[in-house]
Structure 1
C-alpha cells in the first residue's frame, strides 16, 4: 500500500517525485539510480464542479477549467479568490444533471451533491417518495 503522503503528493498539481534505488553489486558510482516523475493535475474542461484540494488556488483551478479567475468567482458567488480545502466549486453555468446508476438512492445522491432530498426531488420534478431507476436523468439544484 502506498504511503499516504505519496498519495497526497499525487493529487497536487505539478508535483515532482524523486525515487532512488540502491543497485548493489555495481561500482559505487553506478549504484544509485534517481528517477523524477512530474505529475500534472487533470484538465477540468467540461467538468461541472471540482472539490478544492490542498495546494489548489483560484488561479490554478480556473486555468485547468479554461476560465478566467473572475468567471470562476462569479459562477460561485465569491468576491475574493480565497478557497477552503473541501469546498466544491461550480465550473460551468446552467443546470447540472446526474444519470442514475443501479443501486443509487435519492438520499445518497443528495449527500453527494450537498443538497436535500426535497430539493433534489423538486429540481427533477419528482413526487415525494419517488423511486429511482437506472438511467434516469435527474436535474441537480
Structure 2
C-alpha cells in the first residue's frame, strides 16, 4: 500500500516539475530554478519541505529586481503554481498519515481482541471433574 503512495508522490512531483519547466525555464529570468528536470524536481522538494520557498517564489516573480524583463503574467501564475503544488502535496501526505494511523488502529484492535480471547477462561466445552470420576 505504501508503494502506491510513493508512486502518487512521484507522479505529482513529476507533473509539477515538467509544468514548472514549461512555465518558468523559457523566461531567462535569473536565477531560474527550473532550467532542467533535475533542478526543477529539487526545487519542488525544497518548496514541499518549506525550505526558503518564499525566496524561490520572489525570484521567479521578479520582485525586488528593478528593470527585469520577465513576463508580467508571473505575478499571478507563480503564486498559483506554488500554492496548488503545496496544497496537493500536503493533502496527499496527510492522507497517507491518516491511512497509516487507521491501519495501525485496526491492527491494535485485532491484537487486543485476540489477547482478550486468550486471557479470559473459557467455560464452554469444559466439564466439571468430580472427585469420584477422577479416581476411577
TM-score by length of 1: 0.21
Determine which structure has the larger helix proportion and give its number. 2
Determine which structure has the larger strand proportion and give its number. 1
Task: Mark the structure with the bigger radius of gyration.
Answer: 2
